[in-house]
Every structure is written in structure tokens, then in C-alpha cells.
Amino acid sequence: MTRVVCLLGSPRAGGNSDLLAGRFCEAAAAAGAEVARHSLRDLRFSGYRGDGSAGSNPREDDLTPVLADVQAADVVVLATPIHFCNMTGLLKQAFDRFFCFLKPDYLTNAVPTVLGRDKALVLVQAQGEGPECYGDLLDQYGPALDKLGFMRRDLVRACEVREPGEVMGDEDALERAGRLAEELVQRG
């Protein structure tokens, strides 16, 4: 069974990125996946402390079980609105903690990650601006995603959605989320 874990990075419950990620997760579940969702806004955790702790998670906090879910997942969904030209600080803090998935010798190891190379990453992104802005986040984070082993990366993006719930009128984004979820579950 395909395991999907979704990290909701919006500080606002029920916002556009939550709704779009919800569509993805519902389609994945309907296709037979086991789905776990984590609202980061409800958790108490800190980001990576720059202590060189690759290959370990030296502290326990509310993010610890989320990281265990990420490690066990086949598909990792990062959902975020765009705040100041990037993912939210909340999601970035959690993403920085993915450093624990790198092996201590990640700089020289041909396989630098404990995650393997068969996980897929889906970035679900909602933004108030048009499609000419912010479409490059997967490229921006590409070097880290390469090291982490996310060789398959997909973007589901809704543009020009500002008001809560406005994404529900973006049939293209909703359809893409559903189709991609089904495809990833079927590929196993």
C-alpha cells in the first residue's frame, strides 16, 4: 500500500494550500493510499539548529513523529501558501529538520540519504500572484531534494488565489491534484 504523508505549512487553518492539499490527499485515499496529514501550525517544534547532526534527530518534540512518518512514506506532500516569495517559515523550519535524513558522511557518500531514492515529493503551492511568479521553488530547493533522494518532484500550484476558499474555483489545480495523486498511488 502506498503511504502518503502531507505537511500542511500554512499558519491559517482551512486556507487555500490546505484545501488544495486536501484534494490531493482525498484522491490518494480514494485510490487506496494510506494518508497521514500533519498541520504544522498545531505543533510545537524548532528548526534545525546547525549543530551538524546529520543522520540523527537529537531532540524530541512534536515534529519527531512527523519525521518518522516522512521516513516511512512513499509520497511526501509539502503544502504552503507563498509568503514573501517563498514557502512559509513554518514549513521551512520543518523542511530544515529533514537534515536528519542525511547520513553523517553525506558530503562524500554516493548515497547520502537514509530515505532511499524512490520517494516522490509533491509541492502544493497557493499564491496570490500570477503564474509568472514563484514557479521555481522546486528548482531553488533542488540541491537539497537531490541529496535527500527525492528524484521525482511535482508541483501542484494555484495562482491568483488570495481569499480563503478561492482555490475551490480553480478547477485546473484541483484536477491536477487529483490526477497526480492517483498516478502516484498507482505507480506504487
Q: What is the pTM of this model?
A: 0.96
pLDDT at site 52 = 72
Of 149, 116, 121, 119, the C-alpha closest to 6 is 121
Grid cell for residue 132 = 509568472
d(CA 106, CA 153): 21
d(CA 72, CA 180): 20
d(CA 20, CA 23): 5
Domain with residue 113: its CATH number is 3.40.50.360
Count up the domains in the chain and report the number.
Answer: 1
Could you tell me if 4 and 77 are in contact, meaning their C-beta atoms sit under 8 angstroms apart?
yes
Give the structural domain span for 43. 3-187
Could you tell me if 3 and 73 are in contact, meaning their C-beta atoms sit under 8 angstroms apart?
yes
Q: Mean pLDDT, 10 residues at a time, over the chain (188 residues)?
A: 98 97 98 98 90 72 96 98 96 96 94 95 98 95 97 97 97 98 94
